[in-house]
Amino acid sequence: MKISILTAVWNRVATLGQALDSLEEQTHSDWEHVVQDGGSTDGTLALLAARPDARRHVESRRDGGIYEALNRAFARSSGEIVGVLHSDDFFASPDILARVSDAFAKTGADAIYGDLDYVAAGDTSRVVRHWKSGAFDSDRLRRGWMPPHPALFLRRDVIERLGGYDTSFRIAADYDAILRYFSDEEVRVSYLSGVMVKMRLGGESNRSLERILRKSREDYRALRRNDIGGLSALFLKNIQKVPQFFRKS
């Protein structure tokens, strides 16, 4: 099955190459890469131009942030399955898309998700935090659980039916979308054990105390608008991150 990989990028020439490598090394070859660039000036566009691939579709234009860019990329995509590969991230091994495709075929699920490793920005071989998702249970949403957004793949019709990212969220639109999708009784969810993606530390949501506080406010708004929970769910969501620093992948 064709898998659309969406990438929003802006001035990430230092890390984008590794993301491209990890996609091009995939043993499952039926993919398209929809790149939405926000008007990079650092050589990102030159890097993309130097690595032509008929399956890669690049558009560069100013946007209102990562979620608007991902919505634009989705609108330009055509795959039956949709996933996100951030420009700072890379797939954990060459068989990830093959495993995802096989899982969709065998389970008939609408959403497949796995695990994620946070790695040091300066040494991507060093795992700092291991996010093991575990099997899905709708009650877990009220206890602050969520799967890693970069390790989530969805059938196209889920996004078309339930909507893309709400750009009124600047940091937590992915959490809002996951709550919307996973709380819908028609969406069949399946967990695929194993690390799918490696993510560098230092992302938008945790770069400063101000952003951490803003993320918490937006998480709370997402919980309330999706009727999932409130302050207790928010507290549990944050406290569940602590053991991830002590787990090994």
Closest CA to 13 of 52, 45, 46, 44: 44
The pLDDT score that the predictor gives to residue 212 is 84
166: left (phi over 0), alpha (psi -120 to 50) or beta: beta
The pLDDT score that the predictor gives to residue 206 is 53
Which DSSP letter does residue 39 get?
-
Report the run of H or E that residue 175 belongs to, with start and end.
helix 173-182
The pLDDT score that the predictor gives to residue 155 is 98
Tokens of 152: 């989530």
Report the run of H or E that residue 8 belongs to, with start and end.
strand 3-9
The pLDDT score that the predictor gives to residue 203 is 59
DSSP 3-state of 96: helix
Looking at the DSSP assignment, which residues form a beta bridge with residue 59?
A: 36
- Burial class of residue 204, CB neighbours in 10 A (0-12, 13-18, 19+): middle
- The residue count of the chain comes to 249
d(CA 33, CA 42): 21
The pLDDT score that the predictor gives to residue 207 is 58
Tokens of 102: 């096989």
Q: What is the DSSP string of 185-203?
A: TT--EEEEEEEEEEEES--
Predicted model pTM: 0.94
Asked if 102 contacts 194 with a C-beta cutoff of 8 angstroms, the reply is no
The pLDDT score that the predictor gives to residue 129 is 94
Extents of the domains making up the chain: 3-245
d(CA 59, CA 63): 11
CATH number of 3-245: 3.90.550.10
List average pLDDT for each run of 10 residues in the chain, which is 249 residues long: 97 97 98 98 97 97 96 98 98 98 98 97 94 94 95 98 97 97 97 97 66 91 95 90 77
